[in-house]
Amino acid sequence: MAIDRIFGYGSLIWKPPPFVTGRVPCYVKGYTRRFAQFSHDHRGTPENPGLVVTLVPNSEWLKLQGADEYPSRLVWGVMYTIDSNHSEEVHAYLDEREKDGYELMEVDVFVVADGQERCNGKSSIYVGHVTNPSFCGPSKLEDLATRIHKSVGPSGPNKEYLYHLKREVEALCLEANDPYLTDLEGLVKQLDQTPHSST
């Protein structure tokens, strides 16, 4: 299967795949972006997994025990157009990168042009469904902050992933600001200022 367009809502925003020919800030509807996916191979280890974001349909998220009460929002990210001569190669690259519980699906993506919403067609997307073995479900924000603050994996400290994500999402446009990411970052930075908080 070839991938011609890919929507990134996590690390793909600042670390795109190869052979990109276009980049468009856009959003998807009907999903919640949460740190609800264990990372055993990038931001943590099998023994001490970190956390990364996944998308969960709003209707499914609200049914999960302990789901937070942040209002449903549009999930902003970036859609990349892939060079058609390398689409299969990019698919293989992304399958390897997103192998820890993520599956490929398609979603409608939307842009705002001249103040008006417009559907920009369909895009491929990698999602960690609630049934995948790395899905950890809802947690209190304080518990997420503690794990993110202390976790480190082959791709670096887990907190750097959070800091990158919040900064890059905010840079997309004013409407992309996400209170969930803002509050979580604030808690992790508090731990940064607490002596011996990672022990």
Report the CATH number at residue 12. Answer: 3.10.490.10
The answer to whether position 199 is within a domain reads: no
pLDDT score at 195: 75
197 lies in a domain? no
Containing structural domain, residue 32? 5-192
Does 186 map to a domain?
A: yes
- Backbone phi and psi for residue 126, each to the nearest 5 degrees, phi listed first: -100, 125
Q: Token pair for residue 113?
A: 């042009």
Is position 142 within any domain?
yes
CB 58 within 8 Å of CB 170:
no
Domain count within the chain:
1
Question: Is residue 98 included in any domain, yes or no?
Answer: yes
Whether 113 maps to a domain, the answer reads: yes
Q: What is the pLDDT of residue 1?
A: 63
Active-site residue, selected from the candidate residues 47, 88, 96, 98: 98
- Give 7's strand partners: 79
Q: What pLDDT is attached to residue 199?
A: 45
Residues 133/101, Cβ–Cβ less than 8 Å: yes
In a domain, 198, yes or no: no
In the prediction, which pLDDT does 196 show?
64
What is this structure's pTM? 0.92
Q: Which residues are within 8 A (CB) of 64 and not within 5 positions of it... i.e. 6 or more apart?
A: 56, 130, 137, 138
Told to judge if 98 belongs to the known catalytic residues of this protein, a careful annotator would answer: yes
Please report whether residue 48 resides in a domain. yes
How far from 73 is each of 46, 91, 108, 144, CA to CA, in Å?
32, 28, 15, 20
What are the average pLDDT values for consecutive 10-residue runs of the chain, which has 199 residues? 91 97 97 96 95 94 91 92 96 92 95 92 95 95 98 97 98 94 98 73
